[in-house]
Structure formats: C-alpha cells, structure tokens
Structure 1
Amino acid sequence: MSSHLEILAILTSAVLIVWLFRRLHLPAILAYLVAGMLVGEHGLALAHEHVDYEHFAELGIVFLLFTLGLEFSLPKLMAMRHLVVAVGSLQVGISLIVFLIIALFLGQSFASSLVIGGILALSSTAIVIRQLSETGAMKRKSGQIAVAVLLFQDVAVVPLLIIIPMFAQDSDTSMIYALLFALVKGVFVVGILLSVGKWVLPRLFNLVAQVRTDELFVLTTLLVTLVASALTQWFGLSMALGAFLAGMMLGESQYKHQLEADIRPYRDILLGLFFVTVGMKLNLAVLFASPFTMFSLLIGFMLVKILVIKSLAIKAGEQTKDAWASAIMLAQMGEFGFVLIALATQVNILPPDIASLLLGVGVISMAITPYMIDHARQMGLWLSNEQPDDTQELSTLPNNNELKDHVIICGFGRIGQTVSRFLKQEAIDFVAIDIDPLRTTKAREAGENVLFGSSRQNELLEAAHLSTAKLVVIAFGQDKQSIDVIQKVRSMSPDVPILVRTRNDDQLDALQEAGANQVVPESLEGSLMLVSQVLSLTGVPFSRIMRRVQKERKNHYNHLHGFFQGEHTDMSPDAIDRIEFANAIIITDDSFCVGHSLKSLNLQSRRVNVVALRRDGVEIEEPEDDVILKVQDTLVVRGKPRRVERFERYMQEGR
C-alpha cells in the first residue's frame, strides 16, 4: 500500500473511532490507540511502515511536554509541597520499587524491570484532571491530593526519559557514572535554557507581539520549542526534556495562555498520531493468548497503587475517606506510560510481548477510569466506613428557625454572596447552598445561613425549606448544572419562581424550557449597563433609558441576540449550535423574493428573525409583515448559522 493510502487509512479510522468514543464519553486517547490497533500490522495491516510516522509522532510528545512545562510553576509546587513531597514523591518511588522487584522475580532483566516499574507507577494526568474539572471534584480534598501526586509524577517522567536510552548504550561505564554525567550535562543545558529564557525570550516575544501577526507568533512558539528540544538532543538528552524546560521558562510570562492556545492544535494532532503508532504495536493475539495474565496484572498493579497512595495519604495526615478516594482516582496507567513503552521498545529494552501486554492493560485501566473517578468518593466512604460527609453538620442550618418567604441561593461564590448582601440590607431571609466545604465553613463561621452540598440533592433543597421559599436564585453560571437544578427544583416545587444567572445567551432557550422564569445572561446585562451609561452621557433622559432597558429584559433581550461574525468567532461544532448570527441579505434583480411580502416568506416556520430593512439609505427597524421587498433592499436577519444560510438561499432561489 502506498504511503498516501496508508495515511488515508490512519486518518479515516482515527476520525471514525474518535467520533464513536466521544459519543460514548470515553477518552480520545483510547480512540487513537484502538485506531492504531485497527490499521496496524496486528490488525487489518493497512499501515505497515509505521516507523516513518514515529518521527512525526515524537513531535506530539515534544509539544505535550512543552504545554506541561507551561503549566508547571514553582510557586504552585511550593504551595502544595507537603502533599507533593509526602505523597507524590514517595508514591512514585515506592510503587516503582515494588513493581521492579515483582518484574525481577518474574524473570525480567533489570533494565526491563525498571521500565515496567516506571510505566506502572505513573497515572493519567490528562484523564484525571479533565474528569475532576468536569465533576467539580477538584475542590475536594481527595481531588487536591490527586493533583499533588500527578504534579510530581509529571516531573518524574523527565528523569525516566533520560534513563531509558542509557540502558541501550553499549558502554563499559557504570550506570551511576552515566547518570552523573547526564546530570552534569542536564545542569549545563538547564543553565543555558534558563538564561536564554530570562534574558532573550521575553525580548523576542515582545518584538513579535508588537508586529501583531498571529502567524508569526505561532511560528516563533514552534521555533522556540523545537530549538530547545534540539539543543537537549544534541547534548545526548531527551527532546522532550528541552521542550519541558522551554515551556517552564515561558510559563511565568504574560504570553503563557496565548502560547498554550497556539501550540494546542499541533500538540493534539501529533499526539493523536503518536498514540496511533503506539496502538499499531498492540498485539491482540498476545492478549487473547493470556487473558488471565492480563487481568491478573491489571488488578494487581491497580491494587498496589491504591494501597500505596492510601497509606501515604493517611501518614501525611489526610482523612481515611479522602485517602481512599484519591488512591482510587489514580489507580490507572497514564499516557506517559505509553510514551515510556514506545521509547523502551525503540531501544530494544522491552520485549514486544511484554510491551503489548502493558499496552492492553493500560488501555483497559484508562477505559474504566471515568467510572472510578465518578464513584471514588462513594467507594472511599464505604471502604473507610465513615459518614457520608465529614461536613455533615454543614448540611443543616445553623439555626433551625422555620423559614418562610425566603430566597434560596444555589452557589455561594462571588455573585451569590453579592446577592446575599443586598438581601440582608432589605431584611429578606435567605439560605445558600454551596459545594465548596472551605467556603461553607468560613461563611457559617461568619453567621451566614449556608448549607454544604450539591443543589441537585433533594435532601439539601428540603433542608433549605424549598416548599416555603418565595424565590430560587441559581448563581453559579454553569448551564448544564443549572438545568439539572432547575429540573430538580421544578419536580419538588412546580410554582416557585426561578432566576438563573448564565454567562451568555447560548443556552437561554434551554434554561427557559427547563423551567426558569427569568434568565440573566451576564454578557447581555453587561451590554445593557454599558448602553445605559452611553445613553446617559449623551443626554438621553434617565426615564427613557430605564424604559428601553426594561423593554429589552421583557422581550428576553431580543435586540441583543445575533451578531456579525468575525475572523476569530468560535465556529466549532459545539458553538455553532448555540450562537446566533446577524446576516445582511442584498436583494438583486434575480432574487426570488422580489415583490413578495415578509409575511409570505414564512419567517416563523424558517425560525429566523428580521432585525431591520434598509431601503434607499433609510433603516426601518422591525419592519411590518406586509412590507413588499424591492430590488436593492437589504434585509438584516438573525438566527442560527445554518437556518440563516438556508433562508438566504430561499430568498435568492426560491427553494
């Protein structure tokens, strides 16, 4: 098969399988591994010469380490140093030694055993952090322990990437001497890169930023990453180490977020290719030939990691339930394990059958990780035989007075607290519900009526006396969770008014359909406040301004929906279904709609709205339905992008 057909096969399988896996809410990493397994020599054999792709795939690891370096910050490390040192470092060390001894006992060489120990000791930063962020568990103590351990594991990858190639060198020098020599070279390279990062790179990026050309900024980012990785490779160290150092140098700069955004598309594509090449090495025949061995290894290494992390967390002074929960979250094998497998296979340290076994175990462990993270808290409570919450007393109101005609505030962050202060000034009772235990404790110490827990729980809403409340305010601004809370509140109290805060108007209709009486989009309210100030400063009477503002709110911000798209408008699949565009349709001699009235065009059935009609240089706002369209008219409409496109085609062609 020619090379371009091989690439076509790889891309086709990757697209289809990633789409399927995302629909099933499984990590994209697993999809790339399965795609590689499908097209590889052990699958359908559609791509044979996968060695050619590995040179490109290595760049995925380079960019991954660069973004990791951007996230790595010494202040963050110092703030979490107790957990990082007491749990993270010991977890990597102890787990690695345990797995190394077991591998030696099973007949592996020292080099192979060390690699296996390093692979199994690491967990998946990508999956765990993403899952913790989505579920809101990052703020819990168990989530903080998991992040601290992952932080050290990410750093521990770097020395492993240095050590593994050394085993392949035919040299009489001892490993200790080689490591010391590598350390000296490493210190020298780090010194060079840090000096460059401190004195040269800030000036370079300042010059590039002044040009205001996105392409040049991206090219400079790529150049810095690749030069740093080439420098470390020239000194006999890992390319990934140079990329990590480059990222760390730029991590404290003002350009950090822009750099990460620029590098992400290249990282994701090349990293996907890397995992495809890893999947090509996965031999299902080896797995099916020894399923007992595979599942024994899977259960065994996960149990060892769970027990090690749990024991270390308890010794560090954490509660038993948090120790169990964080250990369960980190039981899987990580994406850097696949990096080490690929590196060790390239230098012939890891036997192919062992590599396939580890790949299979890693894929399965990562597939079950989302489920384990979702249920880690319940498992931790069950294993520790503790009460459902160490903050159970926070789930009852400080004073048990019967509340009536009060306001329930779901989410006691900055917005929720601002609402509560104004309610107190008007002597209106309120009860707040918040999922952050520290915030809840601090607020209760200050005498606030705050409950700890999720606003989606029946027990919390009952404890907040929902049945006698006069208003529910959902203040946390996350639309998906807000819809869940609205539905829960409506199921318990069909008539209570619900006011929802949202960041923009993307989910305005969905929130109202779920049962919200009023939705307050921050972006649109901010626009209204700005408009009020503009009109006031230009001399418009305050009473007229208030009437206009109230009219907009009453009409659900009708004039504020839809906008003209720009170069940087988010046109991703997720965004395209939410946003509304404004679009100007110029009517020509050949347009179908000439001589037709707006009413005859069935605007409602086509689900678009007319914003204005421009005729002879005059703009008619919200024209009447009986207006007849003429040549050279410009009709400004708004709606979902696809509906606007279909409506424009209908106006021009009549179909």
Structure 2
Amino acid sequence: MFDHILLNIVLLLIITVGLVSISRRLHLPAILNYILVGVIVGPFGFGLIQSEKSISFLAEFGIVFLLFSIGLEFSLTQMMSMRRMVFGFGGLQVLMTGLVVFGVSYLLGFGVETSVVIASAFALSSTAIVIKQLTEQSEIQTRHGRATVGILIFQDIMAIPLLILIPALGTAAGQSLPTELGMAFLKGAIVVVVMLFAGRYILRPLFHEVASSKSQELFTLTVLTVVLSAAAFTEEMEISMTLGAFLAGMMLGETEYRHQIEADIRPFQDILLGLFFITVGMMISPELIQTHFLTIMAITLSIMLVKTVVIFGIMRLFQKPDGVSLRTAVSLSQVGEFGLVLITLALTYELLPHQLGQILLTSAVFSMVATPFLIKYNGRIANRFCRKSYQNDFAEMESVIKEDTKFLSDHVVLLGFGRVGQITAKFLEQAHVPFVALDMDIKRVHEAQQSGEPVYFGDSAKHSIIHATNISKAKVAIITFHDYHAAIKTLKTLQDVAPELPVLVRSLDDSHINELTQAGATEVIPDTFESSIMLASHLLLMIGHPPSQVLKQTRAARRGRYNLLNGLYPGESDHVPFDHAQMGQIIQPITINESAFAVGKRLEAFPMETLDLYIKSVRRGSVRGDNPDLKTRIRVNDILIVQGLPENIDKFEHYLNTGKT
C-alpha cells in the first residue's frame, strides 16, 4: 500500500506508539507489541506494508544493537562468581535441550541442517522478558532467580558459536560440511582474538582520549562507529555481523565507560530493535495460524514442556529442591529473542522452508506471550505440583524464624538486608534495640548468619513468614529494599497481618510516595530527598553560611516532607542547633575583620583542643598555607579554614571576634 520507506516508518511509529501506550498500562512486554504491529501492518495483516524488505535494512541494525547491548551487560566477573550455575546448569540445559529437539526434528523427517537450526533456536530462552519479569517480582536474588540468571548467562555465551554456525551451514551447500564448519570456526576464532586485541590496545585508549575531550557528541559518534565497524568486520569475514557487535559490547563492557556507553546506545537500540521485531511480526500470518493452529499450539506446548522437564531434571540432578527446580524450569520454558534471530537468519540462508520458518516463528512468539504469566504465577505452579516439597521448605524456614524470635518483644522487623538494611542494623545494635531481618539473597543471608546476625531467608510478602517474626509484639517494621513493586506487596501483607504496626519505607525517589502511603506506609524516606538535603547543607556550610541558619533551612525542608519529624523540635530556638553531632564535622572558612580580637595573635594561643577543632589552612590574599605553623600570627582579612563540629566552629568564631569562649 505504501512504498516509500519514510511513509512506512512513520506509519509504523504511529501504530507502535498507540499499542505501546496501551500495553504499558497492561504491563505487557514491549517485544510483543512490536510483533503485533508487524502482524497488523504486514502483508498477512491489513497489507499496509507489502514487504518487510523496505525496513529490513534498518531491522538488521536492530539485531546488531541488541547483541551489542547484551555484550555490554555480559560480565566476566559475574560469570566466574556463578560458574557452577553458568557452566553446570547452563551447559547441561543447552546441551540436553538441543539434543532432544534435534532428535525429535530428525525423526520427523527434517534434514540435519534444519534440525540443527531448530535445536539451536529452541534451546535458548528470552533474557529480556525473563529478567524484566523476575526483577519486577523481586525474585532475581531468590534461589530460582539466581539459577535462572546463571542459565541465561550461558545461553548468551552460546550466541557466539551459534552465530558462526548458522551462516556456515548456509554456505556449505555442495561442499564438505565438516570442512566448511571448521573454516567458519577458525575464522570465528581469529575474529575473537582480533576483537580481544582491539579491545585491550585500541578501544580502551580510544575511549579514554574521547572522554577526555568532554564532548558528548564525539563520545556518542565514537560508540556508533565502533559498533558498526565491528559488525562490518565480521560480515566481511563472512560471519554474522551480530557476532562482531556482541564481541565489541563484551570488550567495552569491561571498561569504566560501560554505563555511559549503555546510556548513549539505548535510544538507537530500542528503536531499531523494535523494527526487527516488527519484521518478525510481518512474517506471521493470521491465516497460517488459523490453518495450522493445532500444529503451532502443539509445537509451542511441546517445546515448553520439553524445556521444563529438561531443566527440572538438571536442577534435581544438582540436588536442588523440587519447588526451586520447577520455578526455574517454568521461568525458562519459552523461546527467546536469540531464537527469533537464529530462525530469521536461517530463513535468510534458506536453511528452513518459508512456511516451516513461519510456523516456528509463530510458535516461538506464542511461548514468549505466555512467559510473563507463567513467571508471575511460578510460585503457585510450584505449590500445585510440588506441594509437599514446597510447603516443607517454607515450613522449615518459618519454624526456624519462629523458634529464634519467640522471646522477642518491642523489636524492629527489618525487611531487606542490603546496604541500607545493614547500616540500619548497625544503628539498632549500637542503640541496643533488638531486631530480626528478612532477605531473599541466600548468599547474603548465609554470610550474615555465620557472623551471628539475626538474618533469615524469607519472602517478606508472605503472610506466614511475616507471622513467624513475632510481628504482633514488634514495635515497628522498616522496608529497606528499593524495589517499588516488592515494597507494595510487602505493605499489603503487613496491612493484613499487623494493620496497627508503624511501617517505615525507604524509596529511591519521591515518585511513589502517595502509592506507598496509601498501601500502608506510615512514613516514606526517599533516598534522593535525604541526599539532596545533606548535599545542600554541607554546601552552605562550606561556603560560609552559619550552621544555625543551615539547620533552620534543613528543618523547614524536612518539616514539609516528613510528618514524623514535626514533633522533634517543639519550642526550640532557631539559634540553638539540634544535636550538631548528627551532622558530623564540617569545614568552614572564617574571615578575620579589622576589629577582631584574633588580629596579631598566634595560632597557638587559640583554644583549639578545648573546642576539638583543627585549622586546616590559612589563606592570606591569593596564598593559601595548609597545615600552618602554630607560631603563625593572624592578620586582618586572613581567612582561617577550620574543621570541626558546627557548634564548636560557632563558638570559635565568637572567640576570634570577642576573645570570649
């Protein structure tokens, strides 16, 4: 209908904006929206765009940026720390799933090359959907979450040989397959060595030089040049250009510029990757779905069942509990983005018949559609099919917590034991306030328990776990994890279990204060608000504002935000600071005027030890002397840079002017 590429892109953007806006409210993955757009505008939908070739060029760049961003997030350090899960669980999962799918495909009459393509595509899962959903459900640090991440890391590693394998199979027609594969992997090894060399001796110095120019435009341009150059290099070597992008991402992911690069590349990646998934959608035919619906559903359910059984079996082989094993298996049962990339790559090299490719793509998409719902209810699924093991596991955790907390009263229930939780716990210990903490990071809990801390593994959103903390006798509960969704779930549980209990909630910013308050939070403490107050306070003190005035402004800011702090300052004079020790030592300049008592006096005559102060330097005109000699005499217009508590600096300034302490 529309032949002009610009009109095609404008049309796609209009429809995509509408669908994404709707799906954001329904919490559906963006990938599915792009695929749906492709179905609507494609030749099998309304025919608004008759061929995906008009946007396929840009869509190929979408794959390049997808692989580059995955390479950026690929961490060798993380991989080594989880090597048992990565190479044990992940290696066996890809191998066993691939062998089973290959065997079934070959028995169904498909050739070796076709069976290899199907096995390779179906052995991989969706990193984007799984990680996003687990993160939203606060399950990344759980036992099944860590196992899932470990397997996904290995699948990302497998991208390298698979991206070499598919083009090699496609170009091996009429030639010796072993010879062609051997040459392809030899070229792949050369590419990897060259990219490693370039990353160490070229990319790092290059980005150091570019960053020193402090030009955002130059930095972004350099990133784009590196990505596309790496892709062009591997394509010239007759290997998939996505391999070059992935390796470039890996190299840059190990540098200090990783986060800036990721931020710069994100807009290009999201838009172009969206176009890739749109082209995938354009290959899906509603008529094909109607005609082969049973076949498509059979393939979808079969592959999800096979992957679930294989992963469950591997987890049990490693002696993981039934519930954890099933939750991991359900989370990884789908086909992922890499699967779509490999199938489309195989279609390009004519390794799959067109209709079979469409059926496989459709089945893969169906499995991705089901994934958010399967992960959302993975706990219920495990409870349904592994009830005895699952409930025994939780019952054991609950009994341990109950036994250890049965004599506690007026204690604090600390939900989350990350950095904020641990700092809070130290304050409670110093104040001799008893507490019990829950956390979902099994490694952190184990280390804390070895140190004698009252920290337990448990989901704070579960009623039975919260009950086990002797919540009815607690004085207050505090939620310290930053995940908004997890905080809401926990607040709802606390409202059911102990509706009268005061609950303090930490949040990253103030964007969800109303929602958290409505969910039951007595008070919400945003990180950004507190850090802003402290930063501004120290700034004002360092540029010479009186501590009492700074404290007055700080109180006013907090009074407007925190209701609980209102009652701490009744009838207190604005000129009498509240517990200055809370603010810690500050550095403040004091100017000596001509009428000051200190003029002509030596530094050794000042009551520094009495006030616990330290004169860091004396500035005289444009000259600044650090660590001044105590014999130094003070002159008019000298500036003393003093370090100490705010109230002591106030007293010292008064002494310098009047001679009275």
Report the TM range for the smaller structure's normalisation: 0.7 to 0.9
One-letter code aligned to 1:241: L
C-alpha spacing 1:179/1:462, structure 2 compared with 1 (3 Å): same
Q: What do residues 473-529 of structure 1 show as CA deviations (whole Å, max 9, x unaligned)? A: 222233343344344434444443332222222233443444433332222222333
**In structure 2, the residue corresponding to 1:499 is in which secondary structure?**
strand
Among 434, 437, 441, the alignment partner of 2:442 is: 437
**In structure 2, the residue corresponding to 1:200 is in which secondary structure?**
helix
Provide the rounded CA distance (Å) in 1 between the counterparts of 2:496 and 2:104: 55
Provide the rounded CA distance (Å) in 1 between the counterparts of 2:549 and 2:9: 64
Alpha-carbon shift at residue 334 of structure 1 (Å): 0.8
Provide the rounded CA distance (Å) in 2 between the counterparts of 1:194 and 1:249: 7
Alpha-carbon shift at residue 271 of structure 1 (Å): 0.9
- TM alignment of 1:148-163, pairs within 5 A: 148-163=150-165
C-alpha spacing 1:22/1:529, structure 2 compared with 1 (3 Å): closer
One-letter code aligned to 2:269: R
Percent identity over the alignment is: 40
Provide the rounded CA distance (Å) in 2 between the counterparts of 1:180 and 1:361: 32
**In structure 1, the residue corresponding to 2:453 is in which secondary structure?**
coil
- Name the stretch that deviates more: 129-138 or 13-22: 13-22
Q: What do residues 276-318 of structure 1 show as CA deviations (whole Å, max 9, x unaligned)? A: 1111111222221122212221121111111112222222343
Report the counterpart of residue 354 of structure 1 in structure 2: 356
C-alpha spacing 1:412/1:159, structure 2 compared with 1 (3 Å): closer
What RMSD, in angstroms, separates the aligned Cα atoms of the two structures?
Answer: 2.4
**In structure 2, the residue corresponding to 1:496 is in which secondary structure?**
coil
- TM alignment of 1:488-503, pairs within 5 A: 488-503=493-508
Alpha-carbon shift at residue 371 of structure 1 (Å): 1.5
Among 278, 281, 286, the alignment partner of 1:279 is: 281
Alpha-carbon shift at residue 28 of structure 1 (Å): 1.2
8 A contact 2:331–2:378 mirrored in 1 = yes
Provide the rounded CA distance (Å) in 1 between the counterparts of 2:475 and 2:345: 63
Provide the rounded CA distance (Å) in 2 between the counterparts of 1:302 and 1:259: 36
Provide the rounded CA distance (Å) in 2 between the counterparts of 1:312 and 1:487: 36
Provide the rounded CA distance (Å) in 1 between the counterparts of 2:327 and 2:154: 18
C-alpha spacing 1:161/1:554, structure 2 compared with 1 (3 Å): same
Report the counterpart of residue 456 of structure 1 in structure 2: 461
2:524 matches 1:519: yes
Among 504, 507, 516, the alignment partner of 2:509 is: 504
C-alpha spacing 1:199/1:295, structure 2 compared with 1 (3 Å): same
Among 354, 378, 391, the alignment partner of 1:388 is: 391
One-letter code aligned to 1:372: L
8 A contact 2:227–2:245 mirrored in 1 = yes
Provide the rounded CA distance (Å) in 2 between the counterparts of 1:465 and 1:318: 29
8 A contact 2:136–2:485 mirrored in 1 = no
Provide the rounded CA distance (Å) in 1 between the counterparts of 2:318 and 2:467: 37
8 A contact 1:115–1:344 mirrored in 2 = yes
Report the counterpart of residue 610 of structure 1 in structure 2: none
One-letter code aligned to 1:435: M
Unaligned runs of 5+ in 1: 559-655
8 A contact 1:142–1:322 mirrored in 2 = yes
- Name the stretch that deviates more: 424-433 or 360-369: 424-433
Report the counterpart of residue 412 of structure 2 in structure 1: 407
One-letter code aligned to 1:46: L
Structure whose CA Rg is larger: 2
2:335 matches 1:330: no
Provide the rounded CA distance (Å) in 1 between the counterparts of 2:520 and 2:23: 32
Unaligned runs of 5+ in 2: 564-661
- TM alignment of 1:553-632, pairs within 5 A: 553-556=558-561
Report the counterpart of residue 62 of structure 2 in structure 1: 60
Provide the rounded CA distance (Å) in 2 between the counterparts of 1:389 and 1:252: 43
**In structure 2, the residue corresponding to 1:520 is in which secondary structure?**
strand
Alpha-carbon shift at residue 545 of structure 1 (Å): 4.9
Alpha-carbon shift at residue 274 of structure 1 (Å): 0.8
Q: What do residues 159-178 of structure 1 show as CA deviations (whole Å, max 9, x unaligned)? A: 22222223333654311111
- Name the stretch that deviates more: 67-76 or 539-548: 539-548
8 A contact 2:492–2:519 mirrored in 1 = yes
Alpha-carbon shift at residue 253 of structure 1 (Å): 0.6
8 A contact 1:398–1:444 mirrored in 2 = no
Q: What do residues 555-608 of structure 1 show as CA deviations (whole Å, max 9, x unaligned)? A: 2279xxxxxxxxxxxxxxxxxxxxxxxxxxxxxxxxxxxxxxxxxxxxxxxxxx
Q: What do residues 192-223 of structure 1 show as CA deviations (whole Å, max 9, x unaligned)? A: 22222111111211121112111111111111
Provide the rounded CA distance (Å) in 1 between the counterparts of 2:428 and 2:85: 40
C-alpha spacing 1:364/1:264, structure 2 compared with 1 (3 Å): same
Q: What do residues 311-342 of structure 1 show as CA deviations (whole Å, max 9, x unaligned)? A: 22222343333222211111111111111121
C-alpha spacing 1:388/1:272, structure 2 compared with 1 (3 Å): same
Report the counterpart of residue 295 of structure 1 in structure 2: 297
C-alpha spacing 1:539/1:244, structure 2 compared with 1 (3 Å): closer
